[in-house]
Amino acid sequence: NKEAEKDTTTAVAVTEKTYLSQPLVTNIYTADPSAHVFNGRIYVYPSHDTATGIPEDDLGSHFDMRDYHILSMDSVGARVTDHGVALKLADVPWASRQLWAPDVAFANNKYYLYFPAKDSKGVFHIGVATSPKPEGPFTAAKTPIKGSYSIDPCVFRDDDGKYYMYFGGIWGGQLQRWNNNQYDSTKANRAGDEQAVLPRVARLTPDMMSFAEPVKEVKLLNEKGELYKEKDNSQRFFEASWVHKYNGKYYFSYSTGDTHNLCYAIGESPYGPFTYKGVILKPVEGWTSHHSIIEQNGKWYLFYHDVQLSGKTFLRNVKVTELHYNPDGSIQTIDPAGK
Ligand code: FUB
């Protein structure tokens, strides 16, 4: 009957999802986009999501990625090229599984791809691979970076030419198992009243293949200048470090994981401390949130992901949207639903 038809139409319209932007590519599933401008062109280094049948668990075992594809475009909105396989698990001598979120740096006329993977004992470390071209293919070093651990490397080049790697992720990313740079497989996730686990940083050697110093904790402070407790999970660090500089200040951005915010904090030094300033991106569709921030031709962009194409948390798609600062240097919060 006519009345019933009308009711159904209204219900569909009310529940329909809206998105601020559309996936950059639809031929493969991609996530954790680390974007950079090399030679005036935007290159995006994502994870390559794939369904391998591993059941979902709290450790993220279902994020079972086996290679990397690199994407590039002249500018945001232009045609996106998928450059095909740039590095595969089978060609990384030390890695056994789970090629998670990578990043890339350019130095010494080479491109260095940094990537986490589990070793033969199931412990995450960070590896490096090199290529003369930004799109690869990349050749992996035989061993992971000495002293590296956990996941989600982000490499930041400061104006003085020094490079720093930020890394770490809790829960399945294993960061809670590392204290004073020593591994303890029995360490569980922290309890609510314990201090939250801190992300890590180390300066890289000029050859970009190792750490120049012992790994340090990055102090992330709340607006009162205090370290977070684990229960402060709408603001404490979970994973997905990214560092960029704006008007001489260092912006450390990250995901809060189980509360799904992408937040940022500001500091005066690449080592921090960084003080919390706010949310960059409200929760996306899907469990994880992971991003990067770049400038091209005077505009700033946030690369991020959601699960618009698949509806499945481990089959994600990367997106990009413009990012805006307020005159005081704060970042305007973005709603991925475009509201
Ligand atoms: O893609 C696998 C993991 O999911 C990443 O390393 C995390 O940042 C989360 O996005």
Chain segment 215-271, per-residue pLDDT in tens: 999 999 999 999 999 999 999 999 999 999 999 999 999 999 999 999 999 999 999
Indicate which atom in ligand 1 lies nearest the CA of residue 305.
Answer: 10
d(CA 250, CA 136): 29
Ligand 1 geometric centre to CA of 61 (Å): 11
| Nearest protein Cα to ligand 1, atom 9 | 288
Active site residues: 32, 239
Do β-strands 29-38 and 220-221 pair in parallel, antiparallel, or remain unpaired? unpaired
Q: pLDDT tens-digit profile of 218-227?
A: 999 999 999 9
Ligand 1 centroid, distance to 290 Cα (angstroms): 7
CA of 172 from ligand 1 middle (Å) equals 9
* pLDDT over threshold 90, residue 193: yes
For atom 1 of ligand 1, which residue has the closest CA? 100
Residues with CB under 6 A from ligand 1: 31-32, 47, 60, 63, 100-101, 151-152, 169, 239-240, 288, 290
Report CA(190)–ligand 1 centroid distance (Å).
Answer: 20
Q: Ligand 1 pocket test: which of 152, 166, 314 has the largest number of ligand atoms within 8 Å of its C-beta?
A: 152
User: Could you tell me the pTM of the whole model?
Assistant: 0.95
Tens-place pLDDT, residues 210-219: 999 999 999 9
pLDDT for 73-121, tens place per residue? Answer: 999 999 999 999 999 999 999 999 999 999 999 999 999 999 999 999 9
Please give the pLDDT value at position 122.
Answer: 97
Q: Which helix (H) or strand (E) holds 38?
A: strand 29-38
Which of 28, 29, 34, 47 is the best mutation target for the ligand 1 pocket, counting ligand atoms within 8 Å of the beta carbon and taking the most? 47
Count how many Cα atoms sit within 13 Å of the Cα of residue 252 in the half-sphere of its side chain.
Answer: 32
Q: Which residues neighbour 135 within 8 Å (Cβ) at sequence distance 6 or greater? A: 43, 70, 72, 83, 86
Query: Phi and psi at residue 113, in whole multiples of 5°?
Result: -100, 120
pLDDT band at 16 (very low <50, low <70, confident <90, very high): confident
What is the position in ligand 1's atom list of the atom closest to the CA of 116?
6
Whole-number Å distance between alpha carbons of 238 and 306: 17
Name the amino acid, one letter, at 102: P
For residue 288, the ligand 1 atom closest to its alpha carbon is 10
Q: Which atom of ligand 1 is nearest to the CA of 173?
A: 6
**173 phi, psi to nearest 5 deg:** -80, -5
